[in-house]
Structure 1
């Protein structure tokens, strides 16, 4: 049954963008970035649910119960065993869509966290259940965990449940994102990956995945070798040639650069030094973006 609360109860949530993989940490590592969507979810006394969207995606995303944030919120009520009231969802979006910055993960986390805030203590799922629900809902635990927890995360699945460890990045790490003007589909680029890779490439990437965690948290000077990857980025290059050229140019200049998530955005992990002037950035918007250390925040 529904909780005993007056209609009009509202929760506001701020969620960060994320960058997954970080080169060698395929489907395992994620980093939260300080580009934010803001969501307001209000319980209504009756009538249909209502969706309003401003900013990124306005006019393109569904404005009914197909909206990802609202679907995630509904799934949270269902998990809690609570009858869902009609809801008014208002989104103010900044995170670019379909660019490799975790917009769908951020939407799922926003809906789940907002619904948890409305359900309140004793009815809302606990943090482990929230992470598992969001990961199942979005399909990318690395993005979801970074959005939920902030900072750097390592994710894994054990006995059918998703888990995450949260780590504090070294404050010397300064991300720069090169946001592509083109969009990309995770499903399409994942389809370029082979079913098998050479054992040598797997061992190489495993060593770099371990090293990149050390580099991000303790030794930023090792970020360039730590972000080498042979597991997924080489196979995805045909999907976005300009992204590959920009990654190559940055790395040749000594800057640790990777494809952000499934692309086509590029993530550079710098220590604040100026970037070269002659980078092939046509078609990209360059943004220096701090690491978000808060994750999903209920603001009311």
Structure 2
């Protein structure tokens, strides 16, 4: 039997959950990445985490780091020998902005543990393991599988359908200098919504998937509208409503809150002027003297992968 490797590097994409009307069930992977290198060391050396980039002074260290926690969750479940761990993290995905930063750590740990144990689990099985840690699949599924995923929890197991878009689509991602913890964004939501709002969202979520699969992207203007979470979260992001309107006026199909926010994401035609749209989205925040970062991305088709 070949000796198992002792070191692995994993690349995990950022993700955007909800995709407008697909609250807690739709998600897509973006071409922005966090990279994690895991090295097995003697148990006596414990857990050492080194972080570069975004959040390098605020993320937990040692075994409390989510990238370490998720590794050991699967490593021990697979009944692998006790070990210490060195983790080097290169963070490009903004923290607490609705781009799945925590999901990248969960997915990295599971992917690394699986790889170092000899790949006993499939990607589909890793999605269920990740959802058990995260509590929901809408970020972890596209982070593992790539593309656009439709995700359902059924009897403790995740069923994720990965879809490939019919034709290219640009993503203009605006990240305000405004952390928005998921707990705060969740607290803004009502416990109950009118039946008509539920119908509104079901119809648009179906239209969104159909539009992306058929290539009839002109439907996206309507399909990306939402009444379950965005109306309640927009007031938490001053300037967001104006920025989404500006994106449409500048040529985007439409714009949404990415995940729980505060990031805004515009869906843009492949031949659209992404820079013009991004600058238009920035103006409402500039008026409020709030810094923003722009990313011009596409949909990542592969998801998490071992790159070294």
Q: Tell me the CA shift for residue 33 of structure 1.
A: 0.4
Q: Secondary structure of the residue that 2:64 maps to in structure 1?
A: coil
Deviation at 1:52, TM superposition (A): 1.0
Give CA-to-partner distance per residue, 1:30-64, whole Å, 9 cap, x none. Answer: 11001011111111124212111111121211221
Equivalent position of 1:173 in the other structure: 169
The yes-or-no answer on 1:289 pairing with 2:297 is yes
Distance 2:2 2:162 in 1: 35
Is the 2:247–2:280 Cα contact (8 Å) retained in structure 1? no
> Structure 1 residues 236, 12: closer, same or farther in 2, change over 3 A?
same
Bigger drift between 232-241 and 20-29 goes to: 232-241
Give 3-state SS (helix, strand or coil) of 1:205's partner. Answer: helix
Report the Cα distance in structure 2 between the residues aligned to 1:252 and 1:196, rounded to whole angstroms: 33
**Alignment correspondent of 1:40:** 37
Unpaired segments ≥5 residues, structure 2 = none
Aligned ranges 1:1-300 → 2 under 5 Å: 5=3, 9-47=6-44, 48-121=46-119, 124-218=120-214, 219-253=216-250, 255=252, 256-272=254-270, 273-274=272-273, 275-276=276-277, 278-279=280-281, 280-282=284-286, 283-300=291-308
Query: 17-26 vs 254-263, which deviates more?
Result: 254-263
Per the TM alignment, residue 211 of structure 1 is displaced from its structure 2 partner at its CA by 0.8
Partner of 1:35: helix, strand, or coil? strand
CA shift at 1:286, angstroms? 2.0
Q: Which moves more between the two structures, 270-279 or 91-100?
A: 270-279
Aligned CA RMSD, in angstroms, stands at 1.8
Q: Residue deviations 1:122-177, cap 9 Å, x none?
A: xx333333111111212231110010011100000111212211000233311110
- Per the alignment, in what secondary structure is the counterpart of residue 23 of structure 1? coil
Deviations 1:100-134 (CA, angstroms, capped at 9, x unpaired): 1000011100110011000004xx33333311111
Whole-Å separation in 1 of the counterparts to 2:293 and 2:88:
27
- Superposed structure 1 runs of 4+ greater than 6 Å apart: none
Q: Tell me the TM-score normalised to structure 1 length.
A: 0.93
Following superposition, the deviation at residue 249 of structure 1 comes to 2.6
Give 5+ residue unaligned stretches, structure 1: none
CA distance in 2 between counterparts of 1:159 and 1:250 reads 40
Q: How many residues align?
A: 295
Structure 1 distance, partners of 2:111, 2:202, is: 33
In the alignment, the residues of structure 2 paired with residue 140 and residue 177 of structure 1 have an alpha-carbon distance, to the nearest angstrom, of: 23
> Is the CA contact (8 Å cut-off) linking 2:250 and 2:280 kept in structure 1?
no
Helix, strand or coil at the partner of 2:30: strand
8 A contact 2:97–2:179 mirrored in 1: yes
